[in-house]
C-alpha cells in the first residue's frame, strides 16, 4: 500500500474524539470520587450523590471509549457534564454579593468539547448543544439566579473560584488545540472526498431483500468509498462528512445514478425485471431545494422505471418540517417512486403523522431484530411495527436478519420480507448477479437461506470505525 501524508485521516479524527472523551472521563472520575467522599463525610448527601454520579458517568465514558462506543460516551459526557454544572451553579455556587459564581466557566469548555464530539451527529445536536451551553453560561454569568441550598463556605469561596476558573480555562485550551487540529484534518478529508467523487471512487453494493419463500424481491443500494489508500470505507465514516461539507447531493446523485442503471439493466432481462432497488436518502439530501428535480432528472436520464425504485427515508427527517417532507414524498410518489421508512422505531415520529405520510413500506430496525429472541421489549416493538404496517396497509421488511430463528420469529408475527446476513452481506453488482443465479439454480436453493456469512462488514477492512 502506498503511504501518503493524508493516510487514515478519519482514524486520526476519531482518535482525537477518543482522546477528548477519554481525558474528560478520567477528569470526571478523578474529581467526582474525592469530592463525593468529602461531602459524604460532612453529611451533605445531595452533593455526595451528585459527585458520585459524576465519577460513575466518567467511568461509563471511559468504558464506552474503550469498547469503541464513542456515541454513547459522548452522550453521557455531554448530558451529565451539563446537568452537573447547572446543578452546582444553581444550588451551590450561587453569587452572594461579594463572591461571583465560577463553575459556569466550565460551560465554555463544554460548548467547544461538545461541538467536537458531536460533529458526526445531526446538526440539531452539534450546533444545538454548544448553543445551549453558551446560553446557560450567559444566564449563570450575568445573573444571580439560583437557590443556595448548599452554599460553599465563606472561607472556601475564593480558592474554589481560582480552582474552577483555572481548570475550566485549562480544559478550554486543550479543547481549542484539539479543535484546531481537527479542522485541519477535516479540511483535508473534504478535499479527499471531493477528489474521490471526481475520480469515481464511490462504489455501490447491493444487499438482497428476500420474501418468506426465499424469493429475491430486490436489493438495497449501499454506498462504499473505494479509497486508493485505505481500501473500502463504509458509509458510516463519510456520509456525515459529505452532509456537512455540502457534498451529499453529489453522493446521492452518484448512488441514484448507479441504482437506476442497474434497474435499466434488469428491466431488459425478463427474469430480473421484477426486482426493485431501495436507495437511502439522508435528511440533508431531502431538504436540498432541488432534490425532487435532481431525482426525477436521474430517472429520466437513465430511463429507469420509477415503480422499481424505493427511496428509504428515516423518521428523524420528520422532526424539521413534516409538511415539507410530506409534500416531497407526495411529489415522488406521483411519479411512481415508492417510499420506505428506514430505521423505524428508533426515532420519535408521532403515530398521527405516520397515518398521513404517503408511505409504502416500514423497515424494522436492525437494533430490534438483533434482540427479538432475547428481549421482550424488542419483540414487542417488532410486533407493534408489524401490526401498524398491517393496519396502515404497508409492507413490513426486517433488516439485519442474521439467523434462521430470527427470521422464523419475524415470519410468525407477520413480517414477510427480510434483509440481512442470513441471506447475504451487501455485494458488488457482479457478485449480486452470481447470488441471483445461485438462488435461481434450483428450488432447494431458492427456499433455503444461504449459510450465515461472517459477521464482518462487507469487504470493509479493519479501519477503526468512528461512531461519534
Binding site for Ca ion (CB under 5 A): 280, 312, 342-343
Nearer to Ca ion, 137 or 421 (CB): 421
Residue 402 binds ligand C2E (CB under 6 A):
yes
Nearest CA among 368, 387, 365 for reference residue 376: 368
Residue 255 binds ligand C2E (CB under 6 A):
yes
Is residue 261 helix, strand or coil? Answer: helix
Nearest distance, CB of residue 247 and Ca ion, angstroms: 19
Nearer to Ca ion, 237 or 343 (CB): 343
Is residue 220 helix, strand or coil? Answer: strand
Nearest distance, CB of residue 318 and ligand C2E, angstroms: 16
Residue 32 binds ligand C2E (CB under 6 A):
no
Among 51, 192, 378, 399, binds ligand C2E (CB under 6 A): 399
Quickly list H helices, 303-375. 322-334, 351-356, 366-370
d(CA 383, CA 381): 5
d(CA 83, CA 76): 11
Residue 424 binds ligand C2E (CB under 6 A):
no
Among 23, 25, 208, 234, binds ligand C2E (CB under 6 A): 234
Q: Are 20 and 113 in contact (CB under 8 A)?
A: yes
Question: What, of ligand C2E, Ca ion, none, does residue 107 touch, CB below 5 to 8 Å by kind?
Answer: none
d(CA 438, CA 423): 12
Which parts of 430-459 interact with ligand C2E (CB under 6 A)? Answer: 455, 457
Is residue 243 helix, strand or coil? Answer: helix
Residue 366 binds ligand C2E (CB under 6 A):
yes
Residue 218 binds ligand C2E (CB under 6 A):
no
Q: Are strands 361-364 and 395-399 parallel, antiparallel or unpaired?
A: parallel
Question: What, of Ca ion, ligand C2E, none, does residue 311 touch, CB below 5 to 8 Å by kind?
Answer: none
CB under 8 Å to 161, separation ≥6 — which residues?
A: 99, 100, 102
Q: What is the dihedral sign for C-alpha 461, 421, 344, 371?
A: negative
Nearest distance, CB of residue 213 and ligand C2E, angstroms: 20
d(CA 98, CA 118): 38
Nearest distance, CB of residue 254 and ligand C2E, angstroms: 8
Residue 196 binds ligand C2E (CB under 6 A):
no
Beta strands in 345-413 (DSSP E): 361-364, 395-399
Contact range with ligand C2E by CB under 6 A, out of 228-236, 387-395, 408-416, 432-440: 228-236
Contacts 24+ apart (CB under 8 A), 432-436: 432/206, 432/208, 432/219, 435/208, 435/216, 436/208, 436/216, 436/272
Nearest distance, CB of residue 252 and Ca ion, angstroms: 13
Question: What, of ligand C2E, Ca ion, none, does residue 400 touch, CB below 5 to 8 Å by kind?
Answer: ligand C2E
Contact range with ligand C2E by CB under 6 A, out of 127-135, 176-184, 396-404, 433-441: 396-404
Residue 389 binds ligand C2E (CB under 6 A):
no
Question: What, of ligand C2E, Ca ion, none, does residue 128 touch, CB below 5 to 8 Å by kind?
Answer: none
Grid cell digits, residue 194: 471531493
Residue 344 binds ligand C2E (CB under 6 A):
no
Nearest distance, CB of residue 242 and ligand C2E, angstroms: 8
Q: What angle do CA 68, 71, 76 make, to 5 degrees?
A: 110
Residue 84 binds ligand C2E (CB under 6 A):
no
Residue 305 binds ligand C2E (CB under 6 A):
no
Residue 315 binds ligand C2E (CB under 6 A):
no
Nearer to ligand C2E, 151 or 449 (CB): 449
The DSSP H or E segment spanning 428 is: strand 427-428
Angstrom CA distances, 446 to 168, 351, 383, 454, stand at 63, 37, 27, 21
d(CA 155, CA 35): 17
Give the residues lining the site for ligand C2E (CB under 6 A).
Answer: 207, 222-223, 234-236, 239, 255, 280-282, 285, 312, 342-343, 366, 399-402, 420-421, 426, 455, 457
Amino acid at each position: 500500500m502506498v503511504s501518503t501524508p493524508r493516510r487514515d485521516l478519519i482514524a486520526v479524527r476519531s482518535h482525537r474524539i477518543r482522546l477528548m472523551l477519554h481525558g474528560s472521563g478520567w477528569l470526571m472520575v478523578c474529581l467526582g470520587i474525592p469530592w463525593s467522599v468529602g461531602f459524604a463525610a460532612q453529611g451533605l448527601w445531595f452533593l455526595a450523590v451528585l459527585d458520585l454520579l459524576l465519577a460513575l458517568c466518567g467511568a461509563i465514558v471511559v468504558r464506552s471509549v474503550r469498547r469503541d462506543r464513542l456515541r454513547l460516551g459522548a452522550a453521557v459526557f455531554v448530558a451529565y457534564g451539563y446537568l452537573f454544572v447547572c446543578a452546582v451553579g444553581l444550588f451551590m455556587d450561587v453569587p452572594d454579593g461579594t463572591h461571583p459564581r465560577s463553575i459556569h466557566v466550565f460551560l465554555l469548555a463544554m460548548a467547544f468539547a461538545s461541538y467536537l464530539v458531536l460533529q458526526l451527529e445531526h446538526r440539531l445536536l452539534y450546533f444545538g448543544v454548544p448553543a445551549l451551553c453558551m446560553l446557560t453560561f450567559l444566564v449563570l454569568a450575568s445573573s444571580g439566579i439560583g437557590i443556595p441550598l448548599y452554599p460553599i463556605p465563606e472561607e472556601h469561596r475564593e480558592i474554589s473560584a481560582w480552582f474552577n476558573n483555572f481548570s475550566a480555562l485549562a480544559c478550554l485550551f486543550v479543547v481549542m488545540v484539539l479543535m484546531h487540529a481537527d479542522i485541519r484534518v477535516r479540511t483535508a478529508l473534504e478535499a479527499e472526498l471531493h477528489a474521490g467523487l471526481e475520480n469515481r471512487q464511490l462504489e455501490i453494493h447491493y444487499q438482497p431483500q428476500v420474501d418468506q419463500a426465499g424469493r429475491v424481491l430486490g436489493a438495497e443500494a449501499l454506498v462504499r468509498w473505494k479509497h486508493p489508500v485505505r481500501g473500502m470505507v463504509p458509509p458510516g465514516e463519510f456520509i456525515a462528512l459529505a452532509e456537512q461539507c455540502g457534498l451529499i447531493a453529489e453522493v446521492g446523485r452518484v448512488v441514484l445514478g448507479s441504482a437506476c442503471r442497474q434497474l435499466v439493466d434488469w428491466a431488459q432481462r425478463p427474469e430480473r425485471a421484477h426486482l426493485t432497488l431501495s436507495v437511502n436518502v439522508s435528511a440533508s439530501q431531502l431538504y436540498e431545494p432541488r432534490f425532487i428535480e435532481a431525482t426525477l432528472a436521474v430517472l429520466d436520464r437513465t430511463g429507469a422505471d420509477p415503480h422499481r425504485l424505493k427511496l428509504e427515508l428515516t423518521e428523524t427527517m420528520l422532526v424539521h418540517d413534516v409538511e415539507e417532507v410530506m409534500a416531497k414524498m407526495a411529489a415522488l410518489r406521483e411519479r411512481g417512486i415508492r417510499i420506505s421508512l428506514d430505521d423505524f422505531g428508533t426515532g420519535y415520529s408521532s403515530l398521527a403523522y405516520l397515518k398521513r405520510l404517503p408511505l409504502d413500506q416500514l423497515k424494522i430496525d436492525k437494533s430490534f431484530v438483533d434482540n427479538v429472541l432475547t428481549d421482550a421489549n424488542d419483540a414487542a416493538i417488532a410486533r407493534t411495527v408489524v401490526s401498524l404496517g398491517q393496519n396502515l396497509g404497508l409492507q413490513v421488511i426486517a433488516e439485519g436478519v442474521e439467523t434462521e430463528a430470527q427470521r422464523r420469529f419475524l415470519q410468525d408475527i407477520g413480517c414477510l420480507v427480510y434483509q440481512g446476513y442470513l441471506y447475504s452481506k451487501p455485494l458488488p453488482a457482479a457478485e449480486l448477479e452470481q447470488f441471483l443465479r445461485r438462488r435461481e439454480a434450483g428450488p432447494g436453493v431458492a427456499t433455503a437461506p444461504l449459510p450465515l456469512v461472517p459477521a464482518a462488514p462487507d469487504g470493509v477492512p479493519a479501519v477503526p470505525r468512528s461512531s461519534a
